[in-house]
Amino acid sequence: MTSLRTRKATAVLAGTAMAMAALAACSSERTDTASGATDAGSEETLVGIAMPTRSLERWNNDGENLDSLLKDMGYETSLQYADNKVDQQITQIQNMINSGADVLVVASIDGTALGPVLGSAKDAGISVIAYDRLINGTDAVDYYATFDNYQVGQLQGEFIVEQLGLADAGTGPFNLEPFAGSPDDNNAKFFFSGAWDVLLPYVQKGQLVVPSGKAPASNDAWTTIGVQGWASATAQSEMDNRLNSFYADKKVDVVLSPNDSLALGIEQALEAAGYADGADFPVVTGQDADLANVKNMLAGKQSMTVWKDTRTLGEQVATMVDQIVKGETVEVNDTETYDNGTKVVPSYLLPPQVVTPDTAEELLVGSGFYDAAELGL
Ligand code: BGC
């Protein structure tokens, strides 16, 4: 602790001018919540929290939740959002280093772009936790906390199998349109592999067909159907194109959407093409239990979402921070899966959970994730 404080005090002096200049240049997405802490034992311990964007509901919840947990534990925090711009995130992390951060928690935008800036963090003795998304190609990431990303995809695939009764030989053929997440997000390949490992056997048996031809040739080819930046608008126009080009005389039965932001765009395209809410609407998967999507589920426009209770991720990461600062053993439960190309990053994986229209109230309202009123219940 003493060395942390000494280093920090020096770094603050050296970095102030640079940090002030850079902070002034930051966009409206910057939210600097650094504040004096009350706990004398950790009052000089600063935790930098770098989040990707405010444009998606989950990251707002993630950031605010972690920030308040750490403040309650007596830490100083600096919470920053980077408008999904890689350069902006790098600048923010550099500012945190210059401001004397002791620990960095980073939900990366591009998991391959942070090596150099995190190298500086490592040189300054700062511990780095990758939050939700793995950071690749650097040894400067100490820990990773996330939900089991492969299992997220598996749950989506298994839901489709169950909804369409695919396990009964000979059912189908059903028309499937697969989508995948952002090519720069390490999670996206896990989501796709988890789902495709379940669905591919049914494609091979002809029970699932892909009229657009957009079934990747292999799990590794998932980026061919990746949606950059997880943008709803891109997913919507891609779905519009597929509907216009391949569905003049057919109906879509099922859409594999890796998350809720894509599902939202896909659902808009389906509605615009005349699919009615309810039984006529294809099976559409999702992830995150975003408010708009839960409402869509209740309105018959989305079949499921994989819920990752981000409050539990925040708690796990806050515990990790505390264990690092106190020099205790950091609790992890996976030391094999997440090889970032330079090292296998010790990870803590949390379990994701399926939510359907039938279980939304019990799971999401019952746990206090949403108020009944927010869901119109
Ligand atoms: C997260 C998902 C999220 C997506 C888009 C992924 O890295 O794990 O929960 O839907 O990013 O923000």
**Whether 111 contacts 184, CB under 8 Å:** yes
pLDDT given for residue 35 in this prediction: 40
pLDDT at 279: 84
8 Å CB contact between 231 and 190: no
pLDDT given for residue 43 in this prediction? 55
Is ligand 1 within 6 A of the CB of residue 287?
yes
Query: Could you tell me if 154 and 280 lie in one domain?
Result: yes
- pLDDT number for residue 28: 36
Residues 83 and 193 in one domain: no
The reply to whether 200 and 262 lie within a common domain is: yes
Please indicate, yes or no, whether residues 346 and 271 belong to a single structural domain of this protein.
Answer: no
Q: Is 58 in the pocket of ligand 1 (CB under 6 A)?
A: yes
166 and 126 share a domain? no
Token pair in block for residue 55: 């444009």
Check whether residue 301 and residue 324 sit in a common domain.
no
Ranges of the chain with pLDDT below 70? 1-43
CA-to-CA separations, 131 to 44, 104, 242, 364, in angstroms, rounded: 23, 10, 34, 23
Residue whose Cα lies nearest atom 5 of ligand 1: it is 230
> Which CATH number does the domain housing residue 231 bear?
3.40.50.2300
Domain tally for the chain? 2
Question: Do 77 and 129 belong together in one domain?
Answer: yes
CB 104 within 8 A of CB 48: yes
What local confidence, expressed as pLDDT, does residue 16 receive? 40
**Residue 97 has what DSSP assignment?**
H
Angle, to 10 degrees, between the axis of helix 186-204 and the axis of helix 149-164? 30
User: Does 180 lie in the same domain as 112?
Assistant: no
In this predicted structure, what is the pLDDT of residue 44? 85
For the chain, give me the number of helices (H) and strands (E)?
A: 11, 12
Shared domain check, 114 and 153: no
Confidence at residue 27, expressed as pLDDT on a 0 to 100 scale = 37
Tell me which of 109, 232, 288 to substitute to probe ligand 1's pocket, judged by most ligand atoms within 8 Å of the beta carbon. 288
Pairing of β 353-355 and β 305-307:
antiparallel
- Model-level pTM? 0.89
Report the nearest-CA residue for atom 6 of ligand 1.
187
The reported pLDDT for the residue numbered 144 is 98
Beta bridge partners of 130: 106, 144
Do 326 and 183 have their domain in common?
Answer: no
Domain span at 211: 149-308+355-375
Q: Does 252 lie in the same domain as 161?
A: yes
Q: Is the CB of 133 under 6 A from ligand 1?
A: yes
Got the DSSP string for 61-105? Answer: HHHHHHHHHHHHTT-EEEEEE-TT-HHHHHHHHHHHHHTT-SEEE
- Residues 188 and 294 occupy one common structural domain: yes
